[in-house]
Amino acid sequence: MDIQEYFSLVFSDYTLRTITLGTAILGAVTGMLGSFAVLRKQSLLGDAISHAALPGIAISFLITGAKDSNTLLLGALVSGLIGTFWIRGIITKTHLKSDTALGLILSLFFGFGMLLLTFIQKQPNANQAGLDKYLFGQAATLVESDVWMMAIVTGICLFVLLLFWKEFKILLFDKDYAKTLGFNTKTIDILITSFIVLAIVLGLQTVGVVLMSAMLLAPAAAARQWTNSLATMVFLAALFGAFSGVFGTAISASQNNLSTGPVIVLVAAVFVFISFIFSPSRGLLFKQIRFIKNRRDLQLHKTLAFMYNIAETHDDISHPHEIKILNNFQGFTKGTLKKLVEKNYVTLQGSTWSLTNEGFKSASNLYNQLTKNDE
């Protein structure tokens, strides 16, 4: 199947539709919530939570023997939450740095989870459980009820987000200040974190423990490059996340069923890459272009100002000058003069250059302009 075929099938084929819808919703909700994690500089949190969820899946299987994803993910949710609150506890009670606490919980829970998984593998009916799919995810196992679950959680999440938008914003920007205004920052904090845990757990089946945090971070990091408004950022992150889900699924379905989770993450990474280079205000490319342009403008202005200063000492403003005189700073005067000729600020007669009326006027405006440009 090639990509075109995929898009023609996606509406009619039940499996494809389910998977595509699932990954799109998942991308949207993780992108949305990922914005908060990124802005709180808790990039590692997602990684810690997803790894902390693994033992929950294993324990849930050991206790219930169930294979359906909802039961297993409930276990993941519980152990993910426990991990998260231990992290909080470690940070507030001891004085370990937060990355230490995150790393500690991540490795502790993941190690324990792996231990349990190997133990389960040795059990007689273990391979039927297919628990290892939660390591790297397996989008193909998504069924309609999973997608409904994701849609409902996303809906609730969106509702809460809109309801407490103002509270979330002030908590993200200035927590102490929010506290002095009487907001219970702990409640808001727990609310955000719980939703992040929930979104991660929802993604485990599709993307897996190992790569889940990328779903949280990549769309948000990409979105941050394009806007200076929180609302737009959250919206864009959701959009990028959803697109990553759809494209990722399309590519993996059309390429001999490449593993979906990693492909989705790679597509998200492409969004990040493009955003970091091409974003107009923060991207590397335009920064460089602006830098070069600013330098060139400055050179033009300097040359013009220099000629203006000489012209002021003469009665005739168009008094011609040899390049030797003008060339008193570095070697770039000739090129700059040519540009000024193009702009009609300077004329060239033989080997001498002289300021035009227009150039004189523009030069005298220069200082005003330079100061006014600020706003």
Least distance (Å) between residue 310 CB and another protein: 34
Least distance (Å) between residue 164 CB and another protein: 7
Closest CA to 354 of 325, 313, 328, 317: 317
Least distance (Å) between residue 345 CB and another protein: 30
Return the number of the residue (224 or 321) whose C-beta is nearest another protein: 224
Least distance (Å) between residue 187 CB and another protein: 10
Return the number of the residue (7 or 286) whose C-beta is nearest another protein: 286
Return the number of the residue (19 or 236) whose C-beta is nearest another protein: 236
Please state, in angstroms and rounded to a whole number, the distance separating the CA atoms of residues 171 and 179. 8
Contact (Cβ atoms closer than 8 angstroms) between residue 49 and residue 33: no
Return the number of the residue (232 or 369) whose C-beta is nearest another protein: 232
Least distance (Å) between residue 129 CB and another protein: 44
Return the number of the residue (148 or 177) whose C-beta is nearest another protein: 177
Least distance (Å) between residue 363 CB and another protein: 27
Return the number of the residue (230 or 258) whose C-beta is nearest another protein: 230
Q: What is the 3 state secondary structure string of the chain?
A: CCHHHHHHHCCCCHHHHHHHHHHHHHHHHHHHHHHHHHHCCCHHHHHHHHHHCHHHHHHHHHHHCCCCHHHHHHHHHHHHHHHHHHHHHHHHHCCCCHHHHHHHHHHHHHHHHHHHHHHHHCCCCHHHHCCCHHHHCCHHHCCHHHHHHHHHHHHHHHHHHHHCHHHHHHHHHCHHHHHHCCCCHHHHHHHHHHHHHHHHHHHHCCCCCCCHHHHHHHHHHHHHCCCCCHHHHHHHHHHHHHHHHHHHHHHHHHCCCCCHHHHHHHHHHHHHHHHHHHCCCCCHHHHHHHHHHHHHHHHHHHHHHHHHHHHHHCCCCCCCEEHHHHCCCCCCHHHHHHHHHHCCCEEEECCEEEECHHHHHHHHHHHHHHHHCCC
Return the number of the residue (119 or 165) whose C-beta is nearest another protein: 165
Return the number of the residue (160 or 277) whose C-beta is nearest another protein: 160
Least distance (Å) between residue 17 CB and another protein: 35
Closest CA to 175 of 36, 370, 2: 36
Return the number of the residue (166 or 290) whose C-beta is nearest another protein: 166
From the CB of residue 181, how many other CB atoms can be counted at a distance below 10 Å? 10
Least distance (Å) between residue 37 CB and another protein: 14
Least distance (Å) between residue 301 CB and another protein: 22
Least distance (Å) between residue 163 CB and another protein: 6
Return the number of the residue (98 or 254) whose C-beta is nearest another protein: 98
Which parts of this chain interact with another protein (CB under 8 A)? Answer: 39, 41, 95, 163-167, 169-170, 172-174, 176-183, 224, 227-230, 232-233, 375
Please state, in angstroms and rounded to a whole number, the distance separating the CA atoms of residues 81 and 153. 16
Please state, in angstroms and rounded to a whole number, the distance separating the CA atoms of residues 56 and 59. 5
Look-up of token digits 């996303």: 154
